Structure 1
Amino acid sequence: MKTNCNRAVAFQFFVALSFAFVACDNCSDTVDAPVSTPITFSIVDPVGNNLVDTSRSYYSVDSVKLFDIEDKEWLYLTYLYVPAAGGYVFSTDCRKNSSGKSSLILKLNSMDSDTLDVWYKQKDTKCFTLYEYTYFQHNGKDLRQSPLTSALLITKAN
């Protein structure tokens, strides 16, 4: 009787092990999964001087926020002081939808807010869905990128 019990346990073990191997494929390892590039931007004056720096800030780093109009939620915004940019560079990501466009409210302080429109396309791979940002507008005007940091330059007349 013990032999049949051992065989049954061994059989169940091998069946479970075979399912584990069937479940393993090239997509099961997500450690090195690719990540969609976030939106990065700096707030500058018409000459290109960063308006969010540590010495003579026109805007406070803590007052800059982004609100997703469609999802009705504040986005998580990170920032880093970048000496080459002459101030802070902000980074975020927005939720994606089927239209391929998101409209965000850029709140600079309690008295100043603008619109940031973001377009993206979906890229499906064998294992992952990625999104690539394709186009940006600030208050209906196209944005340019910083030649030093590649961050979008949101220009504000101060």
Structure 2
Amino acid sequence: MSTAPPGTALTGAFRFVVVAALALGWASAGLAAGATPATAASCDSPEPSPDAFRGVVLETAAHGRIATVRTDDKRIVTVHGGAMGTTVWSSADRTYTVGAHYEFHPRDDAPPYRDDICTATHPINESDSDSAWSHTGWLVAVVVAAAVAGWCHRQ
């Protein structure tokens, strides 16, 4: 037998669902904005590279760690998301997604470029609006929370 005051059992369930819905919204906002596991390695704040360029990943190799990129100025270059010439992987290796558009901030000034998660390289949105998908995530969270609130209120 519960010793909780009447109506508080649903309040606990309601709080759980609201927190879960908000977490879903935050997670989808972060994933859609192209979040990368930059915290997997101990890096200082990455500085922009003077050799930065933008491009689309055409294909990858080595489990996404080597990218063939068509730059926005139509060159085809190779970017290594970790140490070049090695099959050893580390937590600082960066992986790339085929079809994604990136702003690359490599560690060197000529191809093949060397990159990792401690550089300022990041995916970019074609519309230059990284918030489009994050609004979708928040909308999902609000709709789920409202539906659960309505259901709990009727009970």
TM range (shorter): under 0.3
Higher helix share: 2
Question: If the length of structure 2 is used for normalisation, what is the TM-score?
Answer: 0.23
TM-score by length of 1: 0.23
Larger relative contact order (Cα-Cα within 8 Å, sequence gap ≥ 6): 2
Larger Rg over CA atoms: 1
